[in-house]
Every structure is written in structure tokens, then in C-alpha cells.
Chain A
Amino acid sequence: MARTPAELVGAQPDPPFEITFDGRRITAVPGQSVAAALWAAGILSWRTTRTGGRPRGAFCGIGQCFDCLVTINGDPNRRACLVAARPGDAVTTQEGHGHDRLGV
């Protein structure tokens, strides 16, 4: 019986690369979404809500719910479940609407 999803489908991915999450180094494999790379590292939340400041992460997994919004390389409101991870990406927890830099 397979013990991991990769074993189940017989995946032999291209060499992994690093991205960072709030400065912490994590590993991603080519073609993986940012959300999948975070899940693989055991991270389930990467945003805090505008009103209650509550933690959120991927929910619908297909780009419909917008719960997985995150800041990637300084750009807020990217859907982590849709955006492919790229080597060297700096992923940071998005607080509130993500536009604090603009002072709005």
C-alpha cells in the first residue's frame, strides 16, 4: 500500500528547489502550487482575516473561495492554490487586505 501520494502515482519529480515562507526555507517541487508546497511543509495557514485577524489557508483548492490569498514577492492577494511556486519565491503571511503598504 502506498504511504505517500507521490508513491501512489509513481512520481519522480524534477529536482526540488527552495522558496521561503515568512523567512523560513521550505522545499517545493517543480510544477507544485504555492499552497501545495506549504501543505507539504505542514503549513496550513498563511493569511489573517481583515476583521477578526483569524488564520486562514487553502479551503476550496480550485481558485473559487479566495481564502488562500497570500503575498508573493511583495504582491498581495495572489491565490496560493493557483500560482505555481518558482525558485526563490518569498511567500509572506498576508495580514488583512494586504495593502497596508499603501496606507489605505
Chain B
Amino acid sequence: MTDSASEPYDLAVVGAGPAGLAGAVAAAELGLGVVLLDASAHTGGQFYRQPAPQARAARPEALHHDWSAYAGLRRRLAESSVRHLPGHHVWSITHEAPAWSVHCLTGDDGSDEQPVRVRARAVLLATGAYERHLPFPGWTLPGVVSAGGAQAMLKSGLVLPGRRIVVAGSGPLLLAVASSLAAAGARVPALVEASGYLAYARHPRALAANPQKAAEALVHGAALLRHGVRLRSRSAVTAVHGTDRVEAVTVTRLDRTWRPVQGSGRRIACDALAVGHGLVPQIELATALGCATRTSADGTSALVLGPLQETSVRGLWAAGETGGVGGVRLALAEGELAGIAVAARLGAGRARGSRIVQLRRRRDRMRAFADAMAAAHTPGPGWRCWLADDTDVCRCEEVTAGRIREAVDDLGARDARTVKLLTRAGMGWCQGRMCGPAVACLAARDGAPEPPPERRPFAVPVPMSVLAQCADQPNTAP
């Protein structure tokens, strides 16, 4: 286990996406000693994911919205004293007074031999989100990829999963994914959205206060028109066809509860499907430390945060999607606010009252919009009618909808944890990230589902040899 010489740092920032970058740079510019940890080899997180430097991309901004904000942060990071540690996968955070210990695996996928422990007086969690999935017949077939995954593989690897790609699910990410795939040369025969976009109209005040969001939607909408992408709202992909890879999908109309309308299915030929139903805050590092959570408007668990981004655990801050999914501009504002707040707590720099007021106002306005959007894309209970008994719900452990229904209907399971104990759903490599929301819905039957608690004592899989090294050093064991 390697400890760094310059420790403890004033602030460890976990995640180098928009929120983490903004927080790290703001805190360092106020005089704090900052370490910035991220699993990836590059800064930018998922939103500003980019080709490797060796790809020598002349126009990386072609796949991005708001690239200039990132370019500015990257320049300030290079000019700052922030120590950026790429390839660091944080698996746990522990508190050993007076500092926090951030435990990391290293390497592309965390499989390098040398684990690292970083110590800091404060921690800013900017760990972002992962995609929410709802299962349907055929969703495990090769060629079905997550919408965010298609976007990520395109942004960093410059590759597409097919030539004719249907984009489906729910949420604003789908617009961005469809327009990037089309701009990069894929044919996108349809964008299938389960909600009705008119649902936004129920929140006129949040919309009016955030005109840039409407402008962004117009840009995507125009791109979709130009590329001939047909928008089908209130519809879903309810089946994927093919034996070893995708050959076609069936798109079915939905009623207001997302229940398929009988006889409305239409087959669309394609060789890939990019699908997702919104985002889930990635908060297990925080829940393991006892941070309070709330259920957000979209039915996911998010961290409860104070006016200056501090979690319910003193000394632990969070910014961006961890406090509820809200997008890049909100993440930038919250990251900067948290960086300033940590500096104030640790007595660095001069108080910047006017900037704090401005950032808080901006954050509150964008949070209101995020809540409106989340409400518009919350899955309707009728999605469960998409499932056949032999549809895999848990991809890792290959647990079917039929076995989960048996656990609920015959064996009396009423929550995701009991379903897991009875069926192994959620017990595999991904620790319930892919099936968690779906299992929670199935377990709740007709009631409102409790969001999965996002409790994972290990945020990433940790080899026994690393745990053994912790045990050798009693003071650093979690």
C-alpha cells in the first residue's frame, strides 16, 4: 500500500468530471492543497469523454455540447497546483481522525498490483451517475447497448455498435445520443421515447427560468430532423429480434402508465439498439459513511445536501449528479460552490460572498428544472407488462422475471433485498446497478417502489490480496 508524501492533502476530490474539475480548481485557486482522483486516464468524466491523445482529434468538440467550459477548466487545472491522479478507482473512504483515507485500486480497470491510500482533511464526492435500465425481451442480445454506453464508446473509442441504430428509452440523454450517432455516420431510423415531451409543459415556471435548456433541445431537435430521425414519443421497444445479434426491434405504443397498447407493435429493422431510462446518482461511497439520502422526483436515491453542498456527514461534500441528476451546468455550479465552501471551512482564501450568492441562485434555479424534467421521465408502472416470464432481469446472475415474480407472488418478498436473497438478482459483478431499479419495481407490486438503497460496501470489486494488505496495516483497515 502506497501513501503519498505530501499528505494529508487539504481536499481529495473523487471524480474528474464537470463537478469534480470545477471543485478542484476553485479550491486550489483559493490556496488549498488538492488531489483529484479519477478512474479514467483523462479528465472530463462521462460528459466530456474524449478520444485518447494518440487519436489526434482536430475537432473533439464535434461530439460535445459546451466544450469551451471544459477547455477552460482543463487549462485552469494545468495552471493550478492540483495533483491529478488518473487511473485511480476509489473503492472505499474511511475516517481516521483527523483525516479521511481514500482507498484506491490503480490501472485501467483497477487490476494493477499496487493499491494506493490517499489522506485528506476534506473530501468532495463528484462521482456522477450511471444509467437506469428497465428490462424487456431480448435486451441481453449483443447489439443492445446502453444509450450512455453507445455515447461513451463513440466519444472515446470513435466506434459505433452498428450501422442502423434505434435509440430508445426515456430522458433527455436520448436526444444527445441520437444526434451524435447520426452525426458520426450511423443511420438512426427512430428515437423512441416512453414519455410525452408535453409533460414538460406542466412545469412552466422551471422552463421559463431556464431558457438555455429549451435552446439545447432545439439544437438537438434540428439535428434529428436533418438526419431524418423519426421521433416516436409515448412508445417503447418491447422486443428485440435476432438469435446471436440484433436484427430488428418491435416498437409499441404506450398508454399513460407505460402499458403497451395491444396490437400497436411495429417492427423496425436495425443492427443495434441504444437504450436507457435516465440516470442514477452514484453514491455508494457516501452511503457507506452514513450520509443521508432522499428520493428524488425520478424515483432514484440522491444525497441530502446542505446549502453549501455538504452532506449530512461533516467534512464530506458532494456536487453534481450525486445530489440528484441535473446535468452539466448544474454540476459546474455545484462543484465550484463546494470548492469555495471547503476552502472557507479550512480557513483558506478570502470569503467570496457575492460569488457564493450567485452560484447558490444558479444552482437553485437549475435544480428546479432538473426536478421538472425528472418528473416528466419517471417510469410508469405499466412497463412491467413488457416482461415475458423468460426475460432476464438480472443480467449478471441470469435471473428471469418469472423467478422474481415467483419470489414476490408465492414467497412473499416485498423489497429488492429479499428478492436478492431468494433469487440472487443483484448479487453479481455489477452489484445490482443494472437490475436494481427494475427489481425494486417488481418487488413493490402495485405500490410505489422504494428506490434501491445504493449500499455497496465495496464501490468496485477488490481483490483479496488488497484486503490482506489493509489487514497488515491495522490503522488503515476500513
Residue numbers of A with Cβ under 8 A of B are 1-14, 29-33, 35-37, 39-40, 44-45, 49-52, 54-67, 69, 75, 78-79, 81-84
Contacts A30-B54, A61-B145 hold; do A5 and B159 have CB atoms under 8 A apart?
Answer: yes
Which residues of chain A come closer than 8 Å to B434, judged between CB atoms?
A: 59-60, 64-65
Q: Report how far A63 CA is from B38 CA in the complex, Å.
A: 13
In the complex, the answer to whether B142 meets A57 with C-beta atoms within 8 Å is yes
B111 touches A58 (CB 8 A): no
Residues from chain B with a CB closer than 8 A to the CB of A8 are 59, 62-63, 183-185
Whether, in the assembled complex, B157 has its beta carbon less than 8 Å from a beta carbon of chain A, the answer is: yes
Tell me whether B144 and A59 are in contact (CB under 8 A).
yes
As a 0/1 sequence over residues 29 to 62 of chain B, the CB contacts with chain A under 8 angstroms (1 = contact) are 0000000000101000010000111111111101
CA distance A9 to B183 in the complex (A): 10
Chain B residue with Cβ nearest A38: B159
Assess whether A11 is in contact with B142, with CB atoms less than 8 Å apart: no
Stretch at the interface among B2-10, B71-79, B147-155, B406-414: B147-155
| Bound complex: CA A5 to CA B165 (Å) | 14
Give, as a whole number of angstroms, the nearest-CB distance from A42 to chain B: 9
Chain B residues in 8 Å Cβ range of A60: 130-131, 145-146, 148-149, 434
Q: Could you say which residues of chain A place their CB within 8 Å of the CB of B428?
A: 66
Bound Cα distance from A40 to B154, whole angstroms: 11
Q: Which residues of A contact B151 (CB under 8 A)?
A: 61
- In the A-B complex, the 3 residue pairs with the smallest Cβ-Cβ separation, listed nearest first, are A31-B52, A36-B157, A61-B149
- CB < 8 Å A-B pair total: 172
Residues on A with beta carbons closer than 8 Å to the beta carbon of B245: 44-45, 55
- Enumerate chain A residues within 8 angstroms of B451, measured Cβ to Cβ: none
Asked if A10 meets B39 with Cβ closer than 8 Å, knowing A5-B184, A44-B161, A81-B153, the reply is no
> Residues 437-462 of chain B: 1 if any A CB is under 8 Å from the residue's CB, otherwise 0?
00000000000000000000000000
Within 8 Å of chain A (Cβ to Cβ): is B470? no
**Do the beta carbons of A49 and B142 come within 8 Å of each other?**
no
Q: A8-B183, A65-B434, A69-B429 are in contact. Are A31 and B54 (CB under 8 A)?
A: yes
Contact partners of A29 in chain B: CB under 8 A: 54-55
Smallest distance from the beta carbon of B182 to chain A beta carbons, Å? Answer: 9
Quick one: closest A residue to B460, CB to CB?
A63
> Can you list 29 pairs linking A and B with CB atoms under 8 Å apart?
A5-B154, A5-B185, A8-B184, A9-B51, A9-B55, A9-B59, A11-B51, A14-B56, A30-B52, A30-B55, A31-B53, A31-B55, A33-B156, A36-B153, A37-B157, A45-B142, A51-B397, A51-B398, A58-B149, A59-B145, A60-B145, A61-B146, A61-B150, A64-B434, A65-B395, A66-B430, A75-B111, A82-B108, A84-B52
Contacts of A67 in B (CB 8 A): 395-396, 430
**B208 located at the interface, meaning its Cβ lies under 8 Å from any Cβ of chain A in the complex:** no
Measured CB to CB, the nearest residue on chain B to A40 is B159
Known contacts being A33-B157, A59-B146, A60-B131, is A13 close to B56, with CB within 8 Å? yes
Partner of B160, one of A5, A9, A62: A5
Q: How far is the CA of A66 from the CA of B57 in the complex (A)?
A: 29
CA distance A63 to B434 in the complex (A): 12
Distance between Cα atoms of A2 and B160 in the complex (Å): 13
A residues in contact with B144, CB < 8 Å:
59
| Given contacts A65-B430, A82-B109, A32 and B184 within 8 Å (CB-CB) | no
CB contact between A2 and one of B46, B109, B145, B184 (< 8 Å): that residue: B184
Question: Scoring B residues 378 to 402 as 1 if CB is less than 8 Å from chain A, else 0, what string do you get?
Answer: 0000000000000000011110000
Bound-complex Cα distance A51 to B394 (A): 12
Min CB–CB distance B427 → chain A (angstroms) = 12
Q: State in angstroms the CA–CA spacing of A7 and B55 once bound together.
A: 11
Interchain nearest-CB distance for B200 vs A (Å): 27
Distance in angstroms between the alpha carbons of A39 and B150 in the assembled complex: 11
Asked if A5 contacts B158 (CB within 8 A), the reply is yes
Contact A4 B184 (CB under 8 A): yes
Q: For A30, list chain B residues within 8 Å (CB).
A: 52, 54-55
| Interface pair B111/A78, CB less than 8 Å apart | yes
- Please measure, in the bound complex, the distance between the C-alpha atom of A15 and the C-alpha atom of B122, giving whole angstroms: 44
